[in-house]
Amino acid sequence: MQKRIYGIETEYGIIFTPEGRKTLPVEKAIRFLFERLITTEHFLNVFLENGARFYQDTGCHPEYATPECAAPGQLIVYDRAGERILEDLQAYAEEKIREERIPGKLSIFKNNTDFVGNSYGCHENYLVDRDVDFYYLAEQLIPFLVTRQIYTGAGKVFQTQDGVRYCVSQRAQHIYQKISGTTTNDRSIINTRDEPHADREKYRRLHVIVGDSNMSEYTNFVKVGTCAIVLQMIEDNYISKDFTLRNPVKAIKDLTFDTTCKRRLRLDNGREYSPIEIQREYCELAWKYMEQYPVSEDLKKAVGMWQHVLDCLDDDPSKLDHQIDWVIKRRMIESYIEAKGTTWSDPRVFMLDLQYHDIRRSRGLFYLLERAGAAERLFTDEEIDYAKNEPPPDTRAKMRGEFIKLAREHSIQYDLDWSNIRLGNLLNVRVICNNPLESDTEKVAELVRTIQKTNLRKTSLSKLVIQS
């Protein structure tokens, strides 16, 4: 698929730390976050002017779903824009908390685990060809997803029965099946959810729930870009080698404890490979594939970064201490331990781990490192700030974002989801947007002009149904 739709759904951890006897339930803190976004839509499920969706997910987690994006780089910008939007809402919520006279600190974290062992996700979404057999796709993709944690992991200080260990991935320990339909229990490497929000005869939505939430733009870009090129190779039936793992669920858990990234894994055919070697096989195929098939500039860039990352991991992972999350965080913690003369079991080390993921730029340790030049950037603050309010120009999100701005400007009643927009007092003016790759149509433009010329509430449009 030369043109693909990408999306990321990020569930955030939220904590209120009281500074006295009076406390604030997390549920109320989340309501304060949403209060600034009140529209005619459901209170805890809001579509934004940039085309994204912000809502409360299971377990009292605020969740941000990016708008439909047409390229990995664009997706990373809109994912980070979600952090900025949530940071703004956090400032508003803190003001509301002060008005309630509840002293304390509200913190929001872009991570995947809490202190009591719960996990919340970062879900990648890729539009794929319906013609590709799903189980064939899954079997081809699982070895890649199991082993990619060596460069996509966010890192975690983990308390085990044998003491404190540093893990590559936060999410890996919460995976229990190869393939399943659930995202909260019995989580799997490949999720079977098939909600393309598009023409079901043409497209399937691949829902990947095995990845970590990333702070590093570099890590995030490589994560999405490498998966996209592997998917394209699978769709073109290009991957001929069999990398099927004998026990992929055990492998994904075992690998997270190996920071050398060289632990041997047994394949179904009896051979043994390290995760670096498996990733190299995929990467070398990608280089050959690009010589024969058209590939976007973003994917070419991702493959080059992929090669660089694997070379560094093979030689010395610490060479990636400005680029890959788990390596950046480990370097930060090791520097602290050395400076303070303490150990990995120091409670302050666990707090450092958590503070790395704080989205508040004035408090988050990742952002402190980024400002100090210790974390490589791919995009500018101006690009991210623009994405907070403007939708991608080349996907369906453009129509959604423009409709939301227009409806609010003219005080028009509306309701919408990913594929439908409903307008008017009776919500009887309906726009069906079933092609996520389409950014505009003449019929939609005609409706926009109609709304701009007259007040929709005074216009008889009860029989108007526009389909794009």
Cα–Cα dist 319/361, whole Å: 25
Phi, psi at residue 156, to the nearest 5°? -160, 140
Catalytic residue among 57, 298, 325, 353: 57
CB of 418 within 8 A of CB of 125?
no
Q: Which residues pair with 158 in a beta bridge?
A: 165
Q: How many residues does the chain have?
A: 468
Report which secondary-structure segment, H or E, holds 68: none
Is 57 a known active-site residue? Answer: yes
Centroid of chain to Cα 418: 17
Centroid of chain to Cα 187: 17
Q: Which residues pair with 128 in a beta bridge?
A: 204
Structure token digits, residue 439: 């950014």
| Closest residue by Cα to residue 242 from 320, 143, 112 | 143
Distances (CA, A) of 397 to 23, 130, 294: 39, 22, 26
CB of 263 within 8 A of CB of 254?
yes
Q: What is the side-by-side strand order in the sheet with 53-57?
A: 45-47, 53-57, 61-65, 6-11, 122-129, 203-208, 188-191, 177-180
HSE, side-chain direction, 13 A CA sphere, residue 276: 17
Cα–Cα dist 4/224, whole Å: 12
Strands 45-47 and 53-57, how do they pair?
antiparallel
CB of 128 within 8 A of CB of 141?
no
CB of 35 within 8 A of CB of 99?
no
Cα–Cα dist 455/458, whole Å: 6
Residue reference for tokens 């560094």:
312
HSE, side-chain direction, 13 A CA sphere, residue 141: 29
Centroid of chain to Cα 67: 11
Cα–Cα dist 240/275, whole Å: 19
Cα–Cα dist 348/341, whole Å: 12
SS3 383: helix
Structure token digits, residue 329: 């965080």
Residues serving a catalytic function are: 57
